[in-house]
Chains A and B, each alone.
Chain A
Amino acid sequence: MRSEVLQESLSALMDNEADELEVRRVLQAAEQDPALRSTWSRYQVARAVMHKEPWQGAVDLSAGIAAALRDEPELQMAPAPADVKPVSTIWRNLGRVAVAASVTLAVLVGVRMVNQGDAPGGAQMTAGTMTAPSMLQANPAARSGAVLAGYSQAGNAGAEPLAPAQAPSAWHEQRIGRYLREHAESSAQMASPQLIPYARAASMEGR
């Protein structure tokens, strides 16, 4: 499968406009291609940021979507007869709606997966037109905004050994939130000349 086609399918999937064939194609390719998987992850974060969706770095949608597709009736995969084209279109659209719904569900449920922690691939996403000096030179993908997304993959890889099997208790979650805030704010109050601790604190919106 040519990678441009896959990228297109992936874009369509992210826009909830992929048909089932495209979804399956992407899923299958993502299984074998860590770079594509990584790109997909970054798309997810980018979209989450743009749409202000609550984003959990631990979520990899592909597992959830694959499971959802497995459970869907095979009927949707049956090719519609050529002479009833309008019906076929409706079917295709229904399929899209079903897939889109599955995607949402996967986000909410928070499917966990094992991150293999590949370096972000998909260098074609960010044409390296900048000439500014940077330590990140060796990793062009790390220059774009989308990189922060790539990060959450890497971060999770580091987090894995300790990640609890079940979600933290409500009490603990609340404490972690408070500690994060307290740490950021106390850092920001230092007479330090830098604004970054302030920005960190301000970026934690009140819950």
Chain B
Amino acid sequence: MVGCRCSLSGLTLAALLISPLVQARDAGQWLQGMVDASGQQSYSGSFVYERSGSFSTHHIWHRADGDGVTERMLRADGEPQEWVRRDGQIQCASSFAAVSGWRGEAPATLNPAQLQRWYALEVLGTTRVADRPVTVIAMKPRDAFRYAYELYLDDQTGMLLKSLLINERNVLLERFQFTDVQFAELTDEQLEPGASCLTLAEHPLEKRVDTSGWVPGWIPPGFVAGEPVVRTLAVNEPQVMSQAFSDGLARFTLFVEPLGDGALAEDLLAQLGPTVAVSRRLQVEGVGYLATIVGEIPPATAERIAASFPFATAEMAQ
């Protein structure tokens, strides 16, 4: 808090924001508090991320002020990976091989009221994370098409300090957890990117196209499609159609690209931590295509989406 230039109403508002959140809040209100926290709090801290086969440590500097939200994220181990983004727009990035600037445009705003249609929200209790009291919110899917989440929200600020992603068999797929967090104003220097953070090159324009031929016959209820775009992911390569889908929490992306000379592919399922990838070959007017669904959804859901394409070659291959 800077001095006391604030008006009376400003003081009242500040007091409301700072005061510990009332205990009577239900899970939906907790979620809303989490969404609101991001734009209101400046903080810095460290967190760990763990999935099968990977454990990494990260620093974050997050400044929220009248100018908007500026974030600097730095991976603290292995290859230095750094991002600076302002109001969600990437300013610079390092070593992420293919930062394309593509945003997918699926709905990203977490809307507790809508989410409750697909997830049962429940306050599980309280515990401690990063030496701060937190309240644990469970989000259990109401159908088999998505995973369960456990969110650990800071009692004072509502900020997400820990998150677990859990599959239908109660097995942990992913852990995100702050080890340390400080709520304080940040200086410009702290948000200054390191030398390895490169300003992004101009992105080739994304083309919006008619992709009606690539619409899967089925997607899980509650998932909303973003705008499909066609672009190249690398130089001298055919264009790829990509389209993002989201239920407000979980997200998957559909990629379709032509199969040509040297582009050999079979139907496939791969798993990287919480993320599944399912490929299906399609045949449209004599041309082969590969459709791949990638996302944090159960493998069975991804398979069902993949199986619903009108032009699947599965029968022909048999």
Task: Indicate whether A and B interact.
Answer: yes
Contact A189 B73 (CB under 8 A): no
Q: Is B17 an interface residue (CB 8 A)?
A: no
Contact A181 B53 (CB under 8 A): no
Q: Specify which chain B residues have a CB less than 8 angstroms from the CB of A132 in the assembled complex.
A: 125, 127-128, 136
Interface residues in B69-113 (C-beta closer than 8 Å to A):
73, 75, 78-79, 81, 83, 85, 87-88, 90, 95-104, 106, 108-110
Q: Is A129 an interface residue (CB 8 A)?
A: no
A189 to B265, CA, bound (A): 29
Tell me the smallest distance from the CB of A128 to a CB of chain B, in Å: 14
**Nearest residue in A to B139 (C-beta to C-beta)?**
A135
Q: Is B279 an interface residue (CB 8 A)?
A: yes
Contact A202 B265 (CB under 8 A): no
Q: Is A138 an interface residue (CB 8 A)?
A: yes
Contact A175 B292 (CB under 8 A): yes
Query: Given contacts A179-B277, A192-B110, A203-B49, is CB(A136)–CB(B98) below 8 Å?
Result: no
Task: Tell me which of B78, B83, B128, B172 contacts A136 (CB under 8 A).
Answer: B172
The secondary structure that dominates the A interface is helix
Task: Tell me which of B173, B263, B278 contacts A151 (CB under 8 A).
Answer: B173
Contact B51 A168 (CB under 8 A): no
**Nearest residue in A to B178 (C-beta to C-beta)?**
A195
Query: Given contacts A133-B136, A154-B171, A195-B73, is CB(A171)–CB(B295) below 8 Å?
Result: no
Query: Given contacts A152-B52, A172-B266, A183-B295, is CB(A202)–CB(B164) below 8 Å?
Result: no
Q: Is A21 an interface residue (CB 8 A)?
A: no
Which residues of A are interface residues toward B (Cβ below 8 A)?
45, 48-49, 55, 57, 119-120, 131-136, 138-139, 142-143, 145, 147-152, 154-156, 158-159, 161-164, 168-169, 171-172, 175-176, 178-207
Show 6 A/B contacts (Cβ-Cβ < 8 Å), sorted by A: A133-B124, A135-B166, A164-B266, A164-B267, A190-B104, A192-B88
The list of the 4 closest CB pairs from A to B, nearest first, reads A193-B38, A191-B88, A133-B125, A199-B49
Known contacts A133-B136, A187-B244, A193-B34; 5 further A-B pairs (Cβ under 8 A): A48-B53, A159-B299, A193-B38, A199-B58, A202-B81
